[in-house]
């Protein structure tokens, strides 16, 4: 069983990005299991933890959980042309100590969603840059920028076929990349 960790960059109850994450998860083939990381209760990263060896328990548990998965799905809104602070904080918290390298060699799929016209382009690239630094190989294509995300669902709340098919292409590329790294 391949384990996928899911990060959602919005804490909003009715987050579009959480809906997109759920849709992506529903497209995973058999043989994959997922764990959604709840990042809203993590403390803000403080380097004193690692320098003094006194790391809060919630942080230790979170780092263990991230270390325990094989790959990552990320969905995020764009806040002021960048990654929301809560998501960047979660990466910073998990990324230390550096030698543990909990992201290294584990593939990532990024999707950004916005009700506006740019589909979270800025945050998508910002996140990609950070994931490159922590050495997570990111799916190159398709790039998933979902603009006017509120229009991608029908009245019953079901994602329309065109968007779902596009996400399926992302999942296909993601599972292929995972296969490459698991060889």
Q: Taking CB under 6 A as the rule, does residue 54 contact ligand FNR?
A: no
Q: What is the separation of C-alpha 82 from the centre of its chain, rounded to a whole number of angstroms?
A: 14
81-84 long-range contacts, Cβ below 8 Å, gap at least 24? 81/122, 81/123, 81/126, 82/122, 82/123, 82/126, 83/9, 83/123, 83/126, 83/127, 83/130, 84/9, 84/10, 84/123
SS3 42: coil
Q: Taking CB under 6 A as the rule, does residue 118 contact ligand FNR?
A: yes
* Size of the residue set binding ligand FNR (CB under 6 A): 15
Q: How is residue 91 annotated by DSSP?
A: H
Q: Taking CB under 6 A as the rule, does residue 12 contact ligand FNR?
A: yes
Q: Taking CB under 6 A as the rule, does residue 22 contact ligand FNR?
A: no
Q: Taking CB under 6 A as the rule, does residue 7 contact ligand FNR?
A: no
Q: Taking CB under 6 A as the rule, does residue 78 contact ligand FNR?
A: yes
Quick one: which of 10, 124, 130, 136 contacts ligand FNR (CB under 6 A)? Answer: 10
Q: Taking CB under 6 A as the rule, does residue 116 contact ligand FNR?
A: yes
| Residue 54 backbone class (left: φ over 0; alpha: ψ -120 to 50; beta: rest) | beta
82 beta partners: 79
145 vs 174 by CB, closer to ligand FNR: 145
Quick one: which of 5, 7, 17, 86 contacts ligand FNR (CB under 6 A)? Answer: 17
Q: Taking CB under 6 A as the rule, does residue 80 contact ligand FNR?
A: yes
108 vs 124 by CB, closer to ligand FNR: 124
Q: Taking CB under 6 A as the rule, does residue 115 contact ligand FNR?
A: yes
> What is the spatial distance between Cα 35 and Cα 170, in angstroms, rounded to a whole number?
19
5 vs 119 by CB, closer to ligand FNR: 119
How near is the Cβ of 3 to ligand FNR at its closest, in Å?
24
> What is the spatial distance between Cα 87 and Cα 134, in angstroms, rounded to a whole number?
14
Q: Largest Cα–Cα distance of the chain, in whole Å? A: 54
> By the criterion CB under 6 A, which residues form the site for ligand FNR?
10, 12, 15-17, 77-81, 114-116, 118, 120
């Amino acid at each position: 069983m391949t384990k996928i960790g899911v990060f959602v960059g919005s804490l909003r109850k009715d987050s579009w990005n959480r809906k997109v994450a759920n849709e992506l998860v529903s497209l995973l083939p058999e043989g994959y299991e997922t764990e959604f990381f709840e990042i809203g209760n993590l403390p803000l990263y403080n380097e004193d933890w690692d320098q003094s060896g006194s790391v809060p328990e919630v942080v230790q548990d979170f780092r263990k959980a991230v270390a325990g998965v094989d790959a990552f799905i990320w969905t995020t809104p764009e806040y002021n042309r960048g990654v929301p602070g809560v998501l960047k904080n979660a990466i910073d918290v998990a990324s230390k100590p550096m030698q543990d390298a909990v992201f290294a060699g584990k593939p990532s799929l990024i999707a950004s969603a916005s009700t506006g016209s740019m589909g979270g382009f800025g945050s998508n690239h910002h996140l990609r840059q950070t994931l490159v630094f922590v050495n997570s190989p990111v799916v190159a294509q398709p790039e998933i920028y979902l603009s006017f995300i509120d229009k991608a669902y029908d009245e019953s709340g079901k994602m329309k076929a065109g968007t779902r098919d596009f996400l399926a292409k992302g999942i296909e590329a993601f599972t292929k990349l995972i296969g490459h790294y698991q060889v």
